[in-house]
Structure formats: structure tokens, C-alpha cells
Chains A and B, each alone.
Chain A
Amino acid sequence: MRPHVPVEMIGGAMAARRVPVARRNLLAEKTRLLMSVGGVAFSVLLILVVVSLYRGWGAAGGLFEELPGDVWLAQVGTSDPLRTTSFLPADRIDEVAAVPGVGAVVPVYARRISLDPARSELTVYFLSLDVPSSGRQPPEAQRFLPPPGTIAVDSVLAREAGVSVGDAVSVLGRRLVVERVEPGGNPLFQIAFMNGDDARSLLALDRLVSFFLIAVDPGADAQQVARAAATAVPGSEPHTSADFANATRDLVNQGFLPVVGALVGIGFAIGGAVIALTIYTLTIEKARDFGVLKAIGADDRFVYRIVAVQSLAVGLVGAVVGIASSALVATLIRRRVPEFVTDLRPLDAAGVLALALAVSAVAALVPVRRISRIDPAMVFRA
């Protein structure tokens, strides 16, 4: 057989565009296309909102990394600050401060307290950094250091407790005023801050502290400083801020990760089913067209390529719409529900996009048998 291709058609132009059969097929029935893209977008929206919700709640652990310090000295066995109790002798602070490489030491008081005795579920983890009130603090530390007689809460806790700035709450029988409400928080555990003077008197911890929070001098080896500081306080062990942050994130993971996994799986299953159904019905509907293409010499690969492009196009457009709308939906919901703390990360969005395309590619395989069974001789039947 001779190649009937003119010389001018050989070369770079061979890699040029094809007739966009796939796009035309999709656009021919706009309602179906809209429904398919909408179905995929909805699945991606569901997946991304759940993932970003997980990220948002997990970010609560980051609080321990935001506090002004690098190393936490805690009682031996205190791997998780929220679920274990730590007591250290307060009078060892000078020995800790004398350790080479220690820049500053802050006594920290911590205790879970029921904010409203009538509601046992409203238990708040109070943290107090015992920094002298007279000292000037950097603005970023202000939210951890409320003035005497006040507390700082997050918006989730404020909503749970039904309080706002200026309201008074009863903490262990003393009235403390809400001084600020920070955005964020999560429904799994609430953390609030109180003044060091209030904590000392309320928690009756005159000779004890929960932790020593150590700021390591710049250039000093944090690990070495941590080990040396631990030897200065009998019965203590060092943890980095990252250790405590991760322990807190684990709390979220344990409660939330299986749910996230299930919902993400369901989301992808729905998205995949929508694409597969669309592509399969489109293949059946266009069986005669594919028969014509086969009759004029197209091999199965040529036809598969059209089907694959259709599938990937639906997946791509649906995923992009889903990603864009998930950011909008998360913002809108959060206006009404403070617990809806989301953190939509570009890497997560890119991952979901890649998975959506992978699901689309798999969905394109559904009509493969149907395509291979199309008899090109059918085109001679009127």
C-alpha cells in the first residue's frame, strides 16, 4: 500500500491539531455536559471541603508552635499536653535559666476547667504564660497574655459558650471578662488563655507550675539545651514545641482521619461514576459516528483517544470548577458556622485535581469493550 500523503504534509505540521471530535461531542448536548461537570465539581467540592476542614482543625495544634518558646519542660510521661497532667516544682526556674543557651524561661500553668458547671461537655483547656504584666510584650504575643481579670478565647469556644468580647464568664467561681475572641478553633477541643496572676491564685499552684517554656538563644543547639535543662529539674523531660503540636494534631487525626478517608473515597467514587456514566452513554449515542470512523480506516486507538479526551475534559473542567467553588463555599459556610475552620492548601487542590484526572482516565476504560465491538459495517445500514 502506498502512503497517499503529499510531501508538504510530512514534517513538523504532522504534530499539529486534530479535528476536536471529543469537544464537539461534549458540547453537542450542553445540558448533559453541565450535569456531568456539575457532578464531578460537586464530588471535588465535597472532597476538598472535608480535606480542608481536616487541615483547618489540625492547624489547632500549631498553637504550641506559635507560643514564644522552643522547648517545653514537662513532668515525665507528659507526651500529650491536652490529655495528661504535668506538675514541676516552680522554684527550679533559676536553675533552668542558668543553663547555657537558655535565653528566657516562662512558667506555664495548664488545666482543663469546666467553663459552665451545668454543661459538662464545655471543658476548656486553660493555658497561662506567667509573664510579668509590667513587661512590654511583642504584639504577636498579646493574644496569649490577657490582662488580669480577663481571658482570651477563640471563635469556636465563644460560640459554644455563647459569649463575646466584654461578656463575663465564671471560671472556678471567679468572674473573668472575655477580653478578645480570636478567629479559629475547632470543635474537638478548646483552648483559652488567662493571665498568670489569675492562674496562680485560681489554680492554687503557688509552688508548682505545669511546664517551663524555654526560649533557646539564637545559635545554641536546642537539643543540647533541652537535655541540660531537664537535668536541672528532677522528674522532668523536654519536648519541642513541634512535639506538642504534633501530639495535638494526632488528636484530630484519631478522631477525624477515618471519616476524612471515607468521605474522600465516597467523593471519588461519585465523581468517577458520573464520568463513567457520561462517557458510556456518550459512547453508545455516538456508536454510529465511531462506526463511520472505523469504516474509513480509524483503528481502535483513534477512537479510544476521542473517548479518553472526552473523559479527561469532563474530569478537568469539573475538578477546576469544584476547586474554585470549594474555596467560596467554605468561606460562605464559615460566616455562619465558626466551627467550619478550613485550610485549603494549593498542594491539596493539586492532589485532588491529579486524582480527578486519574479517575477520569479509569472511567474512560469503561466503554472500551463497547468500542471494540462496534462493527464498522453497521454504517451501511440505513
Chain B
Amino acid sequence: MTVPAPLLEVERLAKVFGSGRTAVRAVDGVDLSADAGEVTLVMGPSGSGKTTLLTMIGGLLRPTEGRIAVDGIEVTGLGKAALARFRRETVGFVFQAFNLLETLTAEENVEVALNVAGVLGRPARARATELLVAAGLEGRLGFGARDLSGGEKQRVSIARALANRPRLLLADEPTANLDSRHGREVMELLRGLAQEQGCGVVAVSHDARLESIASRVYWLEDGRIRREA
């Protein structure tokens, strides 16, 4: 019987910024994996390379060395157009600063992600509504993004990330800008979604509260994995 491959495989991943004497190895030979239906947490202090690692997994930054495979897709070998397709179909992003489009409503922020994937009109609206209701925002659908609280913005951000049914959700400090109550709510939401939708969640954070929802925790320091739990 063959063991199914992990949803995410990262091998000997490295990223060097600059060159010569000013070269900085932000990520230095990282190996990690993550499975569907689980929350994988990468922790570490500021400047440890967490966000750089996440950015490379999400196909937004090309690694200097190493390999990334998501759901069988060799991300490191993809061209520009294929990377864009990978980002809209295979991964979803949850940002520390939410990154909602301020001129749009909560519902439109989710809908626009579906538009990006070619889903338009009523089907897009219905999917956006479904996700926001699931995120507990049924009373905020038509609210402008700028009129939402931090916790609500992060919920919209999560709904947007899930709009195109990604296999892997990448969350960058998802609780950093939230108070403890909203932070806990977002954590529960991430765990629930991972289990219900069967997608994997990779979160990078220095918030120790996230350990309680994680199935696997990596400790990153100076661009290297120091511990795995």
C-alpha cells in the first residue's frame, strides 16, 4: 500500500537576497510538509524568514534553491502565467493586514476573487454569500470594507481565500492585528475550515495561541527549521 504524498512538500528551500558580501540567506535549506485537513504552524521571531517562506510556497517569490510541490504541482518550475493560475486555483491567501479592497463591500471582496478565476455574475455572488454566512458575517454582506472591524475584515479575507476552493490556505500572521477574542475566533475558523473543506492550512505566526489549533508546528530561526513538533 502506498502512502499518499503530503499536500505540501518543501525540500531544501533557500532564498538569498542580494549578492556577494551583502547577500542575506532569508531562508536556508528548509524542509517541511503539510497535509490536507490539518493546520501546520510555522513559528519564529520577527525576521526569521517566515513570510519569505510563505511567499515562496504561494508562488509569489522564486526560491534560489530547493523544491516546492503543492497537490502534486511543482511550483518552482512554473512560468508567470502558470503561477498566476496556481495562485487563483490551488492556494488561498490570508494576510496579516487583511488586504481587502477598501472601495468594495464585504461580499464584493469575495466575489472579485471568483471573477479573477472566471466565475461571474449570480454564481459568484451566491458563492460569496455562502462563504460569508459560513464565516458569521450574514449581517455584513453589503458593508464597505472600511466599515468592518478588524475581526470582520479577517473573516472576509478568509472567505475570499476560500472562494475558489483552494487545496492549500496560506495565512500570514492571521491574528497579529486582532485582539484576543477576535484572534481566537479566527483561529477556530481556520481549524474548522481545514477540517470541513479538507484543505490544508499553513500559517506563519509568532502568536503562541495558534499552537492549540495546529497539528504540526515548525520553529524557524535565522531561516532554518530548528524544531518540529
Contacts and interface: CB of A to CB of B under 8 A. Distances in A.
A293 interface: yes
Contact of B89 (A6, A16, A24, A297): A297
Contacts of A377: 55, 60-61
A13 B122 contact: yes
Closest 4 CB pairs of A and B: A297-B88, A16-B121, A9-B123, A4-B165
Contact of B122 (A5, A16, A293, A294): A16
Contact of A299 (B84, B111, B166): B84
B103 interface: yes
B42 to A, nearest CB: 14
A18 interface: yes
Given A17-B121, A297-B88, A377-B55, A25 B103 contact: yes
Contacts, number: 117
B111 A19 contact: yes
Interface in B96-119: 96-97, 99, 101-104, 108, 111-113, 115-119
Nearest to A13: B121
A173 interface: no
Interface residues of B, number: 46
Nearest to A376: B60
A14 B112 contact: no
Interface residues on A, range: 35 or more
18 contacts: A6-B127, A13-B121, A13-B123, A14-B120, A15-B120, A19-B108, A28-B102, A288-B99, A289-B102, A295-B60, A295-B99, A296-B87, A297-B84, A297-B87, A299-B81, A302-B115, A377-B61, A380-B51
Nearest to B111: A19
A131 B60 CA distance: 89
Contact of B96 (A6, A14, A295, A382): A382
A25 B101 CA distance: 10
A14 B119 contact: yes
A159 to B, nearest CB: 53
B112 A293 contact: yes
Interface of A: 1-6, 8-9, 13-19, 21, 24-25, 27-28, 288-289, 292-299, 302, 376-377, 379-380, 382
A4 B117 contact: yes
A21 B104 contact: yes
Given A13-B122, A294-B84, A377-B60, A289 B117 contact: no
B54 interface: yes
A295 to B, nearest CB: 6
B172 interface: yes
A296 B116 contact: yes
B149 to A, nearest CB: 18
A240 B166 CA distance: 78
A16 B117 contact: no
A379 B122 contact: no
